[in-house]
Structure 1
C-alpha cells in the first residue's frame, strides 16, 4: 500500500476540511471507494480524477485500519479492567482465564497487593487479640 498521508487522522481530517487535500468532498458513508480496483481501468476518468479517488481510497483505508487498531486496544483495556475488577472482588483470586490477559507488571503489582493485604490482616488479628 502506498501511504499518501502523514500524521494523525485528526491532522488529515483538518487538511481535508480546509480543502488542502481534495477539492471534492466525501463522507465516511460514501461508497466512492467501494472498489479501488476500478481506478485502474482508467477508461472513464481523467488522471487527476483517478489520483483524487486513489487518495480518498487510501485515506478511507487508513481510517478503517486506525479504527480496527483502536477497537483492539479498547478490547484489551476492557479485558484488563474486567480482570482487575475480578481480582478486587475475589481478594486476589482471579478467574482461571484472567491471568493470561494481565500484563506481567500488573500481575506483579497484584501479587504485591495480595501479600500486603494478608500482612495487614495478620497484624489486625494480632492487634485485636
Structure 2
C-alpha cells in the first residue's frame, strides 16, 4: 500500500488540532476516560486520511453537487460519532442518565454540524492544495 503524503499530513494535522481542542477543554490532569477520546480522534483521523483522495477526485473532476456531498459526508460522520457515544457509553454514566430527549437531540445535532464543518474544512484544504499543485495525484 502506497502512503499518500498530503493526506497523511492533513490527517495528522486533524489529529493534533482536535486532540489540542479536547485537551484544552478537559480537566487537568485529564481523567482516565480521556484515553478513549484519543482513540476516537485517531479513528476520525484515519477516516480523514481515507476520504481525502475521494474529495480530491470530486474537486478534480468537478463532480456535480460535490459540496453538498462533502457536507452530507461530514454530517453522517458526525451523527454516527454522536450516536456511537450513546451506544458505547458505560451503563449508568451520569452524563447520559440525567439527559433528556432535548439534550440527546442537541448532542446529535451539534456533532452533526461539527462533522459537516470538518468535512468542509478538509475539502477546502484539499482544493487549496490542488490549486497550489501540492497534490501529487
Shorter-chain TM band: 0.3 to 0.5
Structure with the largest fraction of helix: 2
Report the TM-score when normalising by structure 2: 0.32
Higher relative contact order (CA 8 A, sep 6+): 2
Report the TM-score when normalising by structure 1: 0.33
